[in-house]
Amino acid sequence: MLPFSLISDKPLNEYSEEELKTGVVFLVDKPLNWTSFQVVNKLRWVIRKMHKIKKIKVGHAGTLDPLATGLLIICVGKKTKEIETYQGKEKEYTGTITLGASTPSFDLETEIDQTFSIDGISEEAMQKAAASLTGAIEQYPPVFSAVKIEGKRAYESARKGEEVKVKPRSVVVSKFEIDTSEFPKVHFTIVCSKGTYIRSIASDFGKILNNGAHLSALRRERIGEFMLGQ
């Protein structure tokens, strides 16, 4: 009935209406090309239909872009009051940065706008670039993001071709490990704080190497103590 994996203490149909309204936390493995909002809507619709509930609160604790997959925490009933607590937890991602080309959105949502020669990029330089993006850093969110600027989502203006000026934000990247065995694809594991844009890290990684780069794959593996493998 659900087109995605749902991790919970028991099957969805075994929860009573009272349990759901009191509060349940579900872990979802978000599929590719689904928005986080679509996952929430689908789960809400299934719960209402399965249990014949007219109204129930359902929300997610931290957006995943449509082109990303992986862990999405879904809170139901009174557990929606704890969403901010889950949003603030440390997150772990795996994915791929592709060097030699950049895009306006820093990922594959938009077309490649520039290409670069990858000749002369050494393993040492890439490791140094990753190290320089580790720790407390300042980063600019992508203009194709949900960041609000004067009451509007940045992506709404960016998609209209309007100029978007985003302000830098302070984030913490506690781990940035790379595997360059499939260069120019650079596979990574990143552990970071709330508010970190992995797309921005990908773009900055390319700039530090005097090149271009974009995020070509992303999967969220962990949020705090919650893991996909659970």
Question: How far is residue 120's CA from residue 211's CA, in Å, rounded to a whole number?
Answer: 11
- Name 26's bridge partners: 74
Does an H or E element contain 149, and which? Answer: strand 148-149
**Number of alpha helices (DSSP H) and beta strands (DSSP E) in the chain:** 6, 14
**Catalytic residue flag (residue 29):** no
Helix axes 123-132 and 198-208, enclosed angle (nearest 10): 130
Query: Among positive and negative, which fits the CA dihedral 199, 203, 206, 207?
Result: negative
Q: 87: helix, coil or strand?
A: helix
Question: How far is residue 109's CA from residue 80's CA, in Å, rounded to a whole number?
Answer: 30
Question: How far is residue 76's CA from residue 179's CA, in Å, rounded to a whole number?
Answer: 38
| Dihedral pair phi/psi, residue 166, rounded to 5° | -100, 150
Contact, 100 vs 115, CB < 8 A? yes
The structure tokens listed for 24 are: 């349940």
Which residue in 9, 29, 65, 119 is the catalytic one?
Answer: 65
Left if phi > 0, otherwise alpha if psi is -120 to 50, otherwise beta: which for 210? left
- Kindly list the catalytic residues: 65
